[in-house]
Amino acid sequence: MSEPKIQDVARLAGVSPSSISNFLNNRMGQMRPDTQAKIQQAIEQLGYRPNNAARQLKTGVASMVGLLVPSLANQFFGALACAVEAAAARHHCHVMTFSTFRDPERERAVMADLLAYGVKGIITGSALSDTEHLAAVTSRCPVVAFDIKRGDESHQRIATVSMDNAAATTLAVEHLAMLGHRAVALVTPPPYTLNRQERIRGFQQAAAAAGVKGELIIADATDGPTDLHGDTRLFELGRSAAARIVTSSAHPTAAIAINDMMAIGVGVGLKQLGRRIPADISLIGIDDIFFCAAHDPPLTTLRQPIQAMADAALQRILTPDEPADGALFAPELIVRSSTATPPQS
């Protein structure tokens, strides 16, 4: 049986199709209560579902926001999607979320589909250095780049919302230095993205300022040609990197992972190699995802104010005429049981 159409509802209710359209779009100022009741009864009897996409294209009123994330395999982006959905719900919007694996061509294709649907705006969390494909969309809808710090080279039409990524690793290094650590490793997937580059910069500058020997360990992601950024394999990349921490000539007594998913992998790898956390090696992550508190031991991390950031992103979508200034949020150090003073030699 074919789906009922607006004409079918009109015939059953004994009104014109334009009356059904007015009812569906909440234009009932001149409609008698008994007519409204007939329409509602006909809709329920037929099981009619309005074509939202067609209605949006016709009226220019969209109730959808597009969200592009690297991969929902990283629990942080699942939490981000929930935060964006919560923010959107307060404005009677819905969210369509896509994993794009930081592939510009896939992002272009997804954005084309979203524009055809008539979305209010698009939020992206891929943090790529090349944002030309995002700038091309801004003439048709607002675009907010999540996790990118605005710089002189940024496209001025793109609004940005980000945690201060350099500050996150700075706080991590300062915390470890205060505990007495003098050799610290930073573990990261390939640093192709702006947020990873900022975290590396903060780490290196803070280590130099604190007199800490900082070692950069870049996990190998070349065995995954469809995911060169490592977003779908962060746990495994972290677990495999643990061996390099243990065998490093710098003998680091602490490790900072570029994000929590990788930190959890590092922690598992260290335990498999017979190292105790934090008795032998202290460990810090970044993001404060749900699993940090369940980690053994509970993971010290840098918390992103994810709901506040999602709220700011939605506000930029809903107020596109305001200047596209960047919103930069401060990280918060959450100290748990995975960091302690270094072992005595």
User: What secondary structure, in 3-state letters, does 256-317 show?
Assistant: EECCHHHHHHHHHHHHHCCCCCCCCCEEEEEECCHHHCCCCCCCEEEECCHHHHHHHHHHHH
Distance in angstroms (rounded) separating the CA atoms of residues 184 and 214 = 5
Does a cis peptide bond (omega within 30 degrees of 0) precede residue 298?
Answer: no
Query: Residue 189 to residues 4, 60, 109, 239, 324: CA-CA distances in angstroms?
Result: 51, 42, 26, 12, 30
Q: Which residues contact 241 (CB under 8 A, 6 or more apart)?
A: 187, 217, 219, 262, 265, 266, 269
User: CB neighbours (10 Å) of residue 75?
Assistant: 18
Residue 261 near residue 289, CB atoms below 8 Å: yes
φ, ψ of residue 48 in degrees (nearest 5): -75, 135
Which pair of tokens denotes residue 72?
């929902």
Q: What is the pLDDT of residues 163-194, one digit of tens each?
A: 999 999 999 999 999 999 999 999 999 888 88
- Average pLDDT of the residues in 303-310: 95
**Top-confidence range, 24-38, 115-129, 194-208:** 194-208
Looking at every residue in the chain, the average pLDDT score rounds to 87
Strands 213-218 and 254-257: unpaired
Residue among 145, 154, 160, 163 at smallest CA distance from 69:
145
Distance in angstroms (rounded) separating the CA atoms of residues 168 and 303 = 9
Q: What is the pLDDT of residues 234-270, one digit of tens each?
A: 999 999 999 999 999 999 999 999 999 999 999 999 9
More confident of the two residues 286 and 33: 286
The distance from CA 169 to its chain's CA centroid, rounded to whole angstroms, is 19
More confident of the two residues 279 and 71: 279
Looking at residue 154, what is its pLDDT?
Answer: 47
Distance in angstroms (rounded) separating the CA atoms of residues 118 and 55 = 10
Distance in angstroms (rounded) separating the CA atoms of residues 230 and 193 = 11
Which pair of tokens denotes residue 246?
């243990």
Q: What is the pLDDT of residues 118-165, one digit of tens each?
A: 788 999 987 776 677 787 788 888 999 887 765 534 456 788 899 999
Query: How large a percentage of the chain has pLDDT more than 70?
Result: 88
Query: How large a percentage of the chain has pLDDT more than 90?
Result: 54
